[in-house]
Amino acid sequence: MYNPLSLEGKRIMVTGASSGIGRACAEMISRLGGEVVLVARDEQRLRQTLESLDGSGHEVHRFDLSDSDATPAWMKQVTLSGKVLSGMVHCAGIEITLPIKTMKFADYRRLMSINLDAAYALSKGFRQRNVGSPASSIVFISSVAAIKAMPGMIAYATSKAALYGLTRSLAVELVRDGIRVNCVTPGLVETEMKIQMDRKRTPEQMQAVRASHLLGLGTTMDVAHAVVFLLAETGRWITGSNLVVDGGYSIN
């Protein structure tokens, strides 16, 4: 039976695949027949993700994405076997909640190195010869913090907003290579990052956050569904776009 969401025969890299949205994306890609290249710093947790995947042909690669200069050459190594990438999902990211008066530049630079610089370096690596295939797709995971301001989120919101500018510019530049580039902007979903954020909020604040999502808080699979839509044939005519998946938070 015809399935426009099928990822059969596609090899897709997922960063931040050790947990949260990254793990959910990896699991969904595998269910749709794709081979997944799992990337994160924690190999043990990557192995746990690997055990949760359907199918075969998946790979685990431990790599520190804060080393942007080394990223393109490392991606060459990943595809030395001749198995080029059909897509890439950049889910890796960190969140620091601090007001500007107390945030140190070292914290700001560390956040930017993963959330934004890594996206640029991965894209540079992906477009190299024999790394990304024609008719392929890049998807960045942004955040609703980029479009709806919240206190203490200046660095995080800046990094995630910049991803959309990167998306649009790359979409224009990489179209000649047959590469589509899009962005998914989630609202608050149940992840380890959310748990860490919850510890910094009062019960009343958390209740207000929940109430502001018209459809309730989301799950990592809600985001993964949007990602695979952009990776598969269903996203063939979409590039340079930002798909907001936030349960109505940004319109409330």
Crossing angle, helix 20-31 and helix 220-231, to 10 degrees? 50
Nearest to 184 by CA among 115, 64, 89: 89
CA atoms within 13 A on the CB side of 92: 30
Q: Which residues are catalytic?
A: 156
Burial of 77 (0-12, 13-18, 19+ CB in 10 A): exposed
Nearest to 63 by CA among 71, 55, 72: 71
* Residue-wise burial string across 20-42, b where 16 or more C-beta atoms lie within 10 A, e elsewhere: bbbbbbbbbbbebebbbbbbbee
| Residue 46 φ/ψ, nearest 5 degrees | -60, -40
- CA–CA gap between residue 168 and residue 165 (Å, rounded): 5
